[in-house]
Amino acid sequence: MIAAISNKFLNFIYNKILRKIKLSNRAKKVIAFIVKSLIILVVFIILYLPILVITIQSLNNSKTLHNFGGLTLKWYEALFNKNSPEYAPDLNETIGNTLIVTFIATIVSTIFGTFIAIGINSLSAKKRQRVIMLNNIPILNADIVTGISLMLIFSALLPIFPGIFGFTTMLIAHIFFTIPYVVLSVLPKLKEIDSNLYDAAVDLGCSPFKALVKVIIPSIKSGILSGMLLAFTMSIDDFVISFFTAGSFDNISIWVYSTIGKKSLTPVVYAYNTLITLGTLIVLLVINIRSYAKNKIINKMNTRSVSYAKKDF
Amino acid sequence: MKKFSKLALPYIIWMGILVVIPLAIMLVLSFMKTDGVSFQGGKFTFDNFSRLVDHAVLVGLSNSLQFSVITTIACFLLGYPIAYIIAKAQIKNRFLVMAVLIVPMWSNMLLRTTALSNIFQPNNVITSLLGIQGISIKGTKLAIIIGMISTYLPFMILPIYTVLEKIDPSILEASNDLGANNFRTFWKVVFPISLKGVASGVILVLLPSATGFAIPKMLGEGKYVLIGMTIENSFNNMNYNFGSLLSLIIIVIIMGALLIISKVDKEGETLL
């Protein structure tokens, strides 16, 4: 119904208006180029302006955030040097908390997520779709609902395990919401692999587990890697779920949230943020360049073997 | 590889425990008046339901609806063309495209919001650097909406791009050969295929922007109350019962979203 109406509407616009405008091909191209560049520019500004501001502030000599007082690296120094006058012990503690939770959650969810994806992939189609739907719940669910759900179940467990609120609960929560991302990135790669490869490995005397590790895991490596990256991205940035499951433990998001309207943020936190972004970017680039180089070699070998094959004919 | 289906079983149990049991607790809590989550001394009541029509709650719901719908439409209008442009450019290096869109997400969401809240003030680092006079939009609806777009736009672009990228170019050639011009090809062929990416994108933007509480609090200076803030407040004030009821209402909406997703995208391919 709606589709039909909007269809008619767009046809109308197209027939009555767009067709009437007679433009040379060149003018059309120029207009398309301008519109395209404008959209790219707007999106780029919207996405990257906050990061630009964070980076400038991490280098800003003035402590107040209202003016620019020249370049400095003292905020970066304060991150690593305890004797620096700007050293903020509570901030460094929260940074430590954030990194520990993120690293453990990323590693655990990558390992479990991969095996779970292999399990889901070998289910029958109907069962698989149901499990995938279950898997998608934490991704689609509003963070606030996930956070409250986990808080409720942890509170219900409190009489059995007193004092779990804090590091343990936050870690469990992070593992809970990062596993689905790993599962979803590994599944499509699993679909692509030829199950004969696995059967061949078993026929040639591999144990199922060895075949899994030696044959399946290497062929889904890129999926595992991107799942790991997503898990890391989601975990290090998380606020709402951590907020409800943290108890008195705090990560960087909770720390920032607790300063709203109370005190101004020390620029050291901007320095930390810039370093994390840069660090992740460098890791990603290194991985990408390496895989690019590898692909190039493989492509070269393929074309060579093709040309050899042609020669044979 | 059938043997490995056992690997999925613990996951089903784990998800069952962490998804279903909290739901049951919420359901019970919303019909009771309790002290926190301890059921001892709690009593059965419908009081929570009568609070649903409180003025503050209704305002929260309508604000949530308003902000999230505007944000979603804006994200769609910006995100679809970008996804289309990237997919059309046929960049071989998918990793690189992902990286450009994901890099902003490595910066802490709350810090990005504080950065925005800083430049929404008349005197800020950028104006001081450029030597110009800034404008003040902090505390306005516009500020909140820009903040939401900036945070959630990648979640719209990525699923649409994933679908567009997979479209076989020969389909487009076929459409052109059969006499459709570029506009008709797009509207009749490309757009309908991309709708499943759009559905994922809309849900991934609509839900967090309707239920988040940090962005409106930081950029709106508390002038606009969204439903997420009401839920956060009830839990902070130890009123678990009303908070649970509000969460249940959101869950019902999410169930609808899940159903749509499971209809259009059975294997969850567009959610990444």
- Check: CB of residue B159 under 8 Å from CB of residue B227: no
Q: In this structure, which amino acid lies at residue B160?
A: I
Query: Which residue from A minimizes the CA distance to B74?
Result: A43
B129 or A21: whose pLDDT is higher?
A: B129
Identify the residue among B9, B11, B78, B98 best suited for mutation to test binding to A, counting A beta carbons within 10 A and taking the highest: B11
- Check: CB of residue A116 under 8 Å from CB of residue B8: yes
Q: Region A274-282: what's the mean pLDDT?
A: 89
Q: Region A24-32: what's the mean pLDDT?
A: 83
**Chains A & B: contacts with CB separation below 8 Å:** 282
Question: A148, B7: Cβ pair inside 8 Å?
Answer: no
What is the distance between the alpha carbons of residues A149 and A244, in angstroms, rounded to a whole number? 9
Reply yes or no on whether the pLDDT at A110 is more than 90.
yes
pLDDT number for residue B77 = 94
Reading the block at residue B56, the tokens are 């503050």
pLDDT number for residue A295 = 72
Q: For residue B1, give the nearest of A122, A269, A288 by CB distance.
A: A122
Query: Which residue from A minimizes the CA distance to B243?
Result: A148
pLDDT number for residue B205 = 92
Q: Region A159-177: what's the mean pLDDT?
A: 89
List of chain A residues whose C-beta atoms are within 8 Å of the C-beta of residue B268:
132-133, 135-136, 139, 184, 187
What is the distance between the alpha carbons of residues B144 and B113, in angstroms, rounded to a whole number? 10
Residue A174 — φ and ψ, nearest 5°? -65, -40
Element (H, E) at B171: helix B169-177
C-alpha distances in angstroms, A144 versus A138, A147, B50, B239? 11, 5, 23, 16
List of chain B residues whose C-beta atoms are within 8 Å of the C-beta of residue A276:
106-107
List of chain A residues whose C-beta atoms are within 8 Å of the C-beta of residue B6:
119
Of A111-125, B117-131, B211-225, minimum mean pLDDT range: B117-131
- Residue A3 — very low, low, confident or very high, per pLDDT cuts 50/70/90? low
* pLDDT > 70: percent of chain A: 88
User: What's the N-to-C CA distance of chain B in angstroms?
Assistant: 25
pLDDT digits (tens, 9 = 90+) for A296-307: 766 666 555 544
Reply yes or no on whether the pLDDT at B66 is more than 60.
yes
Gap from A289 CA to chain B (nearest CA, Å): 10
The DSSP result for A86-147, as a single string, is T--HHHHHHHHHHHHHHHHHHHHHHHHHHHHHHHHHTS-HHHHHHHHHHHHHHHHS-HHHHH
List of chain B residues whose C-beta atoms are within 8 Å of the C-beta of residue A138:
19
pLDDT number for residue A302 = 59
Gap from A92 CA to chain B (nearest CA, Å): 16
List of chain A residues whose C-beta atoms are within 8 Å of the C-beta of residue B217:
260
- Residue B67 — very low, low, confident or very high, per pLDDT cuts 50/70/90? very high
Question: A145, B251: Cβ pair inside 8 Å?
Answer: yes
pLDDT number for residue A309 = 45
Q: For residue A140, give the nearest of B11, B18, B207 by CB distance.
A: B207
Q: Region A181-189: what's the mean pLDDT?
A: 91
Q: Region A3-11: what's the mean pLDDT?
A: 68
What is the distance between the alpha carbons of residues A117 and A110, in angstroms, rounded to a whole number? 10
pLDDT number for residue A310 = 43
Neighbour-count burial for A278-300, b at 16+ CB within 10 Å, e otherwise: eebeeebeeeeeeeeeeeeeeee
What is the distance between the alpha carbons of residues B172 and B193, in angstroms, rounded to a whole number? 12
- Residue B266 — very low, low, confident or very high, per pLDDT cuts 50/70/90? low
- Residue A275 — very low, low, confident or very high, per pLDDT cuts 50/70/90? very high
Which DSSP letter does residue A4 get?
A: H
Write down the pTM of the prediction.
Answer: 0.85
Gap from B225 CA to chain A (nearest CA, Å): 15
Q: Region B230-244: what's the mean pLDDT?
A: 86
Q: Region A25-54: what's the mean pLDDT?
A: 89
Q: Region A271-275: what's the mean pLDDT?
A: 92
The highest-confidence range among B77-81, B217-221, B223-227, B228-232, by mean pLDDT, is B77-81
List of chain B residues whose C-beta atoms are within 8 Å of the C-beta of residue A60:
125
Reading the block at residue B157, the tokens are 């672009």
pLDDT mean across residues, chain B: 84
C-alpha distances in angstroms, A258 versus A313, B117, B270? 73, 16, 35
Q: Region B104-129: what's the mean pLDDT?
A: 85
Reply yes or no on whether the pLDDT at A286 is more than 90.
no
Question: A136, B214: Cβ pair inside 8 Å?
Answer: no
pLDDT number for residue A313 = 39
User: Comparing C-alpha atoms, which of B64, B68, B36 is closest to residue B242?
Assistant: B36
Reply yes or no on whether the pLDDT at A273 is more than 50.
yes
pLDDT number for residue B5 = 79
Question: A185, B183: Cβ pair inside 8 Å?
Answer: no
* A73 three-class SS: coil
* B43 three-class SS: strand
Reply yes or no on whether the pLDDT at A248 is more than 70.
yes
- Check: CB of residue B103 under 8 Å from CB of residue A233: no
pLDDT digits (tens, 9 = 90+) for A41-89: 999 999 999 999 899 888 888 777 777 777 888 888 888 888 878 788 8
What is the distance between the alpha carbons of residues B48 and B50, in angstroms, rounded to a whole number? 5
What is the distance between the alpha carbons of residues A155 and A279, in angstroms, rounded to a whole number? 37
Residue B224 — φ and ψ, nearest 5°? -115, 120
- Check: CB of residue B195 under 8 Å from CB of residue B214: no
- Residue A1 — very low, low, confident or very high, per pLDDT cuts 50/70/90? low
Question: A140, B78: Cβ pair inside 8 Å?
Answer: no
pLDDT digits (tens, 9 = 90+) for A216-225: 888 888 889 8
Question: B15, A151: Cβ pair inside 8 Å?
Answer: no
Tokens 């910066």 found at: B107
pLDDT mean across residues, chain A: 84
pLDDT number for residue B122 = 82
Q: Region B169-181: what's the mean pLDDT?
A: 85
Question: B266, A181: Cβ pair inside 8 Å?
Answer: no
B68 or B50: whose pLDDT is higher?
A: B68
The highest-confidence range among A135-149, A294-308, B95-109, by mean pLDDT, is A135-149
Sign of the C-alpha dihedral computed for residues A224, A172, A245 and A54 taken in this order: negative
pLDDT number for residue A311 = 41
pLDDT number for residue A308 = 45
User: Comparing C-alpha atoms, which of A110, A45, A80 is closest to residue B126?
Assistant: A45
pLDDT number for residue A101 = 95
Tokens 């620029």 found at: A267
Q: Which ranges of chain A would DSSP assign to H, the alpha helix? A: 2-12, 25-58, 74-80, 89-121, 125-140, 143-157, 167-192, 195-203, 208-211, 217-219, 221-237, 240-245, 252-258, 268-312
Q: In this structure, which amino acid lies at residue A134?
A: L
